[in-house]
Amino acid sequence: MSRDCGAALRRWRETFKLTQQEIGVLMGVSASVISDYEKGRRSPGVRFLRRFVESLISLDASRDYQVIKQLANSLNINIGVLIDIKEFNTPLRIDDLLTAVEGFVVNGSIPKDLEIYGYTVIDSIEAIEKLSGNEFWQIMGTTTRRALIFTKVSTGRSPMIAVRVSPVKPSVVVLHGTKRVDPLAVRLADREGIPLILSLKSSVEDLVNSLRAVSKVLKP
């Protein structure tokens, strides 16, 4: 089992065209440690596997998601809607999320103990026009305890309808690109029990940079 897992680690690293050194630097371990895992001398746990996958994605992101786009195309998944995605090893408090997106809650109250373990930023227009129901929830990531962030929003109605009919729900929904949220979007968020946040960030780039900055200060 360990050797099979090690072989899989090596295949994925090579698929992403990365060296053991490149992966090791991002994970904070030496290339020889990566080699030990790939050769089955060490058995990877869940924590290691998560960090390994996150490193693959992070390094591919620095190359404009070249490999992920190829994989998505081969599986007929529309990757164009995805702007940014991140998983956290430690939780992000909702207050810190509000600060990062310069946002405020537009529906009811929000649990002070609410925490998320990741975020997904998508182009709402592309998502609504091009994603099927299955593709919509597949792009959310490895955990539903995350913020699903819609950009290029006009009123928020369409994104919340999409969330409403999705079989998998995020912990939080963030809308960016509008100053006014449709009352129907607010009602749908209330019905689903999902905090709805309106972000006042000046641009999508500013929004993403702020989220990435917050994720970097979380404990690895």
Q: Are residues 52 and 134 in the same domain?
A: no
Q: Are residues 100 and 208 in the same domain?
A: yes
Predicted confidence (pLDDT) at residue 85 exceeds the cutoff of 50: yes
Q: Residue 76: what residue type?
A: N
Domain limits at 90? Answer: 77-217
Torsion-angle region of 42 (φ positive above 0: left; ψ -120 to 50: alpha; else: beta): beta
Q: Are residues 47 and 86 in the same domain?
A: no
Local structure of residue 81 (DSSP, 8 states): G
Q: How deeply is 149 buried, as exposed, middle or buried, from its count of CB atoms within 10 A (0-12, 13-18, 19+)? A: buried
CATH number at residue 9: 1.10.260.40
Q: Are residues 13 and 122 in the same domain?
A: no
Q: Are residues 86 and 179 in the same domain?
A: yes
pLDDT of res. 132: 67
79 contact partners, CB below 8 Å, separation of at least 6: 65, 68, 69, 72, 73
| Domains: count for the chain | 2
The pLDDT of 67-74, averaged and rounded, is 73
Specify the length of the chain in residues. 220
CB 40 within 8 A of CB 9: no
Q: What is the pTM of this model?
A: 0.69
The pLDDT of 12-25, averaged and rounded, is 93
Which domain-ending residue is among 23, 42, 68? Answer: 68
Q: Are residues 49 and 103 in the same domain?
A: no
* HSE-CB of 60 using CA atoms within 13 angstroms: 22
Which domain-ending residue is among 12, 38, 68? Answer: 68
pLDDT of res. 136: 67
What's CA 11's distance to the chain center, in Å?
A: 23
CB 175 within 8 A of CB 198: yes
Distances (CA, A) of 209 to 57, 137, 145, 198, 201: 17, 24, 21, 17, 11
Q: Are residues 53 and 82 in the same domain?
A: no
- Identify the residue with better confidence: 78 or 26: 26
Q: Are residues 61 and 92 in the same domain?
A: no
CB 110 within 8 A of CB 138: no
Q: Are residues 43 and 148 in the same domain?
A: no
Q: Are residues 100 and 194 in the same domain?
A: yes
The pLDDT of 68-76, averaged and rounded, is 69
- Residue 197 — very low, low, confident or very high, per pLDDT cuts 50/70/90? very high
CB 85 within 8 A of CB 118: yes
Dist. CA 34–CA 50, nearest whole Å: 14
Which domain-ending residue is among 68, 94, 110? Answer: 68
Q: Are residues 105 and 182 in the same domain?
A: yes
What's CA 109's distance to the chain center, in Å?
A: 24
Predicted confidence (pLDDT) at residue 86 exceeds the cutoff of 90: no
pLDDT digits (tens, 9 = 90+) for 106-124: 998 777 789 998 899 999 8
The pLDDT of 45-64, averaged and rounded, is 86
CB 144 within 8 A of CB 179: no
pLDDT digits (tens, 9 = 90+) for 149-195: 999 999 999 999 988 888 788 999 999 999 999 999 999 999 999 99
Pinpoint the alpha helices (H) of 16-111.
20-27, 31-38, 46-61, 66-74, 94-101
Q: Are residues 174 and 102 in the same domain?
A: yes
Q: How deeply is 6 buried, as exposed, middle or buried, from its count of CB atoms within 10 A (0-12, 13-18, 19+)? A: buried
CATH number at residue 94: 3.40.1390.20
